[in-house]
Amino acid sequence: MLEVKEVLLQWLEGRAVKRIAAAVGVDPKTARRYVRAAEKEGLASAAGTQLLSEDKLAQVLVRVKGAPARAVSEGRARCVAEREFIEHHVQHGVRLTKVRQLLVRKGVNVSYALLRRYAMAELGFGKRALTVPVVDAQPGEELQLDVGKITLRDSNGHPYRIKAFVFTPNVSRYRFVYVAERETTADAIMACEAAWEFYGGIFATILVDNAKAIVDTADPLGAKLTDTFLDYAQTRGFHVETTRVRDPKGKSRVERSIRVVRDDCFGGEVLRDIEHAQVRARYWAEHTYGMRRHTTTGRMPKEHFQTVEAPQLKPAPSERYDIPTWTEPRVARDQLAPVAGALYSLPTKYVGQKLRVRADRNTVRFYAREGVIKVHPRQPVGGKSIDPHDLPDEKRAYAMRDADFLRQQAESHGKAIGAFAVALLQGPLPWTRLRQIYAVLGLVRRYGAERVETACDIALTESMHDVRRLARMIEQNVRPEPQPLAKVIPIGRYLRPAQQYAMKPTERNNE
């Protein structure tokens, strides 16, 4: 009653129907029915509101509401009878085409068009939810990234595919395109490096649409990034956010970026190779798309970026990023772990465990639960890096071929033992005789240093350098024989001096 009265009062004042409908909050068609009914009752626009009495208003309502109801068709009546059945399946996600098949199977034959109209009018089928506009981020705060496939053609007309990394700032929409042959983590890092060079700085956050080169495991509550890209983001000082899986609204500002790049940048172009395509992409971003007035912002993206966002960016990197590789090798029984074709030593307690390894151009870092446990210099393929402190004390000297260490151990048990060890090590390739030194030290542990010292003294006196014979001497407890006293022959009292035996020269000899 009040709605009709308000519409008619404004109409009698001379206002247009559309404006009346917007002001009152009714559909324009409804407002127009009220106006037509008032005209049939003899009311005229701009005739004065005093003509709208209660009787006139009641007559208008009778004309509008008293019209005979439209007869319900037979098909719609069948849908009404099956309302509960239809509503149950629609709420459980069953497609409406399948619902019609189930109705036909029950003997209820209705057309799909009729069923769809009924479901939309009565059950809310196909009704879109209201959207809420999200405000833009602050300048220099957010850079959205989308990755997609694009097919190009070379000069011979042969098609080839590339991967396009499309960067779009949230505020200025100054778009940058980087192309690559594949979508790997290394390619994603190189794309970001090219973007920082193009923009002249680093954005605070990159919003990624779960690209496989960056996101290892997608999760709406916090995706897991690949180790390599996470390390890169921490090194460059920016944050990575991801959208929900298959959620175009998560970054709606750039959701159509791949199609725009494909059609506007590369459409109809003849590009020889990836390098040619990259040159074309950069020219398009800077001189075509960047100089075209954006329909949303109303400004040219390049000018908008240079004025508003460029001063807010972090400084661009001065050198290219050294892309590391992450692996999870298992430490073998020999305490060595393979990384990129080389071997690296680890402490004994990590034997049999899987460790996370970060290998860059200069270093190889091993990680366990407690953090970094070992750092080695990077070795070429086939190389080996062994830290002596990783090896057990009893095996370190032999593993490192440290003859001096074993010699010092032998000398610590006795002078003769040390001399015997030195004699064993004489000659070329002394490390081939380390087992003999180990055997001598074993004799010391078994029989004691005193017995071995005695046996080594006898062996050195006789110039015997055989460890097995030394062991038999120790087993038989060989002792040195006492030397007899030397017989002292006194000088004879009447011995003639030696000069008396000298031959005297003769005259013949003189001649």
pLDDT digits (tens, 9 = 90+) for 320-371: 888 888 899 999 988 899 999 999 999 989 999 999 999 988 999 999 988 8
**Amino acid found at 52:** L
Quickly state the pLDDT bin for 52 (edges 50, 70, 90).
low
Helix (H, G, I), strand (E, B) or coil at 382: coil
Phi and psi dihedrals of 239, rounded to 5?
Answer: -105, 150
pTM: 0.59
User: How far is Cα 258 from Cα 255, in angstroms, rounded to an integer?
Assistant: 8
Question: Pairing between strand 384-385 and 201-202?
Answer: unpaired
Residue whose C-alpha is closest to residue 167's, from 195, 139, 209, 201: 195
User: How far is Cα 264 from Cα 44, in angstroms, rounded to an integer?
Assistant: 56
Secondary element (H or E) of residue 39: helix 28-40
In the predicted structure, residue 47 carries a pLDDT above the cut 60: no
User: How far is Cα 267 from Cα 498, in angstroms, rounded to an integer?
Assistant: 124
Residue whose C-alpha is closest to residue 172's, from 137, 126, 201: 137
What is the 8-class DSSP label of residue 498?
G
Quickly state the pLDDT bin for 485 (edges 50, 70, 90).
low
Return the sign of the alpha-carbon dihedral for residues 397, 403, 404, 408: positive
Number of other CB atoms surrounding residue 349 within 10 Å = 11
Residue whose C-alpha is closest to residue 196's, from 143, 241, 149, 137: 143
Q: What is the pLDDT of residues 235-245, one digit of tens each?
A: 999 999 887 66
